[in-house]
């Protein structure tokens, strides 16, 4: 039904590796070190073009830019400052569709203030599989989503590793329409409109590195409230909990785990229901394959060095959705598993480029992105 979407990144570093291998250097800096420095500079200063193909869009071309960095500390040493990051991309399709995306995650003032901002503007299709935990893969149909989103948040360190903050979400679905002329889905069409809400955030940041942790833990709890009083056309609430734990029992071999759940109540628009599947939660399952008012998921990953700036990982995930919390069941979990390769692109912040080959009940999928899934 769908061809696997594949990104093709253009790496200037490959050319450099070949060129430098032909010219020995008499300096104290080795060829490997020079190549690593070049790779870091290439990712730091140059945007990366990419291309791909999917049955729902045809050809896709775009460009992405990622930067990770540390703000200078006033009292803390550089090794204790948590890294910040900025990610942006834009791409266009053969069918005149597009997506613009920007997300910033900044940790400044000696790790005392964590500010985030997310912006997205898109006219882009996605397969809709229906609601529930047991939908039929072959019954999916293509839906075009056109929406604009911006979501700022800020959290303040109040005690040791504890942060408390607030956020606002503006998510306006300007149009939701089936691209299959034989299907007129009133459920989706009646969910177009503005979602406007505020939320509170409580978190505990105790990782050694928030971009790519080797030890420590992370806890984040948020409650979002959407209401007509804020201009929203939908009234609903969502509670989200994200807990992650990292341990490195053997040198350079890290075990990472994550428990994630979203619980909803009220008139939740279909496109804003929690989902199972995608590049970050439940790899191996088609993105947004399962959706409903409530979702629970757990995943585990083993990370290890391979050679030089190359690292590897194997992982497995379990998850399910349900209309009510009482409907969660031990025999209703979906699974995904796989393995991946990581390329270190910034030693100071431990940033990596991630390649994952994932498997699930519906086949295999390839994911490419920056940094670990969690």
Residues 264-294 pLDDT 10s: 999 999 999 999 999 999 999 988 899 999 9
Question: pTM here?
Answer: 0.90
pLDDT tier for residue 326 given thresholds of 50, 70 and 90 = very high
Residue 2, domain member (yes or no) = no
Q: So what's the pLDDT on residue 182?
A: 73
Residue 175's DSSP bridge partners are: 146
* Residue 4 covered by a domain: no
> Looking at the 3D structure of the chain, how many domains does it have?
1
The answer to whether position 233 is within a domain reads yes
Mean pLDDT of 294-301: 98
Q: Out of 112-126, 169-183, 234-248, 340-354, which region has the weakest mean confidence (pLDDT)?
A: 169-183
R_g (Cα) of the chain, nearest Å: 21
| pLDDT tier at 191, thresholds 50, 70, 90 | confident
Q: What is the pLDDT of residue 17?
A: 45
Q: Say how far apart CA 14 and CA 30 lie, in whole Å.
A: 17
Both structure tokens of 289: 């394959």
Structural domain for 42, as ranges = 12-370
Q: CATH number for the domain including 348?
A: 2.40.160.50
Residue 6, in any domain of the structure: no
Q: Mean pLDDT across the chain, nearest whole number? A: 90
Q: pLDDT tens across 5-28, in order?
A: 444 444 444 444 444 444 444 456
What number is the average pLDDT over the span 203-218? 97
Which pLDDT value is given to residue 14? 46
pLDDT value of position 60: 92
Whether residue 212 is predicted with pLDDT greater than 60 in this model: the reply is yes
Asked if residue 7 is part of any domain, the answer here is: no
Asked whether residue 345 is domain-assigned, the answer is: yes
Is residue 104 assigned to a domain?
yes
pLDDT at residue 321 in the model: 98
pLDDT-derived band at 38, boundaries 50, 70, 90:
confident
**Could you give the C-alpha distances from 326 to 4, 94, 132, in angstroms and in order?**
35, 44, 14
**Would you say residue 275 lies in a domain?**
yes
In this model, does residue 61 exceed pLDDT 60?
Answer: yes
Minimum mean pLDDT range among 43-57, 94-108, 268-282: 43-57
Least confident segment among 2-6, 14-18, 95-99, 197-201: 2-6
| pLDDT at position 48 over 60 | yes
pLDDT at residue 213, as a whole number:
97
Question: Could you tell me the pLDDT band of residue 362, with boundaries at 50, 70 and 90?
Answer: confident
Distance CA 290, CA 277 (A): 7
């Amino acid at each position: 039904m769908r061809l696997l979407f594949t990104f093709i990144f253009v790496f200037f570093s490959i050319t450099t590796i070949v060129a430098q291998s032909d010219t020995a250097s008499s300096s104290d800096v080795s060829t490997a070190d020079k190549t690593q420095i070049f790779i870091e500079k290439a990712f730091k200063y140059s945007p990366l073009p990419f291309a791909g193909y999917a049955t729902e869009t045809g050809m896709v071309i775009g460009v992405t830019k990622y930067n990770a960095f540390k703000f200078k500390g006033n009292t803390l040493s550089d090794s204790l400052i948590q890294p910040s990051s900025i990610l942006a991309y834009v791409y266009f399709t053969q069918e005149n569709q597009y997506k613009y995306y920007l997300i910033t995650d900044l940790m400044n003032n000696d790790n005392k203030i964590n500010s985030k901002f997310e912006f997205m503007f898109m006219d882009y299709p996605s397969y809709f599989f229906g609601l529930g935990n047991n939908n039929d893969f072959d019954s999916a149909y293509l839906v075009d989503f056109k929406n604009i989103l911006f979501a700022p948040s800020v959290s303040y360190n109040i005690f040791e590793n504890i942060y408390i903050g607030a956020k606002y979400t503006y998510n306006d679905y300007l149009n939701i329409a089936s691209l299959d002329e034989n299907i007129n889905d009133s459920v989706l069409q009646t969910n177009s409109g503005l979602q406007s809400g505020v939320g509170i955030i409580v978190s505990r940041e105790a990782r050694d590195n928030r971009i790519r942790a080797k030890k420590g833990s992370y806890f984040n709890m948020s409650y979002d409230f959407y209401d007509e009083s804020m201009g929203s056309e939908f009234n609903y609430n969502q509670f989200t909990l994200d807990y992650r734990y990292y341990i490195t029992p053997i040198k350079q071999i890290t075990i990472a785990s994550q428990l994630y759940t979203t619980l909803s109540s009220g008139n939740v628009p279909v496109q804003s229901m929690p989902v199972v599947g995608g590049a970050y939660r439940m790899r191996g399952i088609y993105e947004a394959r399962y959706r409903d008012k409530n979702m629970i998921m757990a995943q585990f990953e083993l990370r290890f060095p391979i050679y030089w700036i190359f690292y590897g990982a194997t992982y497995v995930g379990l998850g399910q959705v349900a209309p009510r919390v009482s409907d969660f069941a031990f025999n209703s979990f979906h699974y995904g598993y796989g393995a991946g390769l990581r390329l270190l692109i910034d030693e100071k912040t431990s940033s990596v480029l991630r390649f994952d080959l994932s498997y699930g009940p519906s086949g295999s999928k390839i994911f490419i992105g920056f940094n670990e899934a969690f």
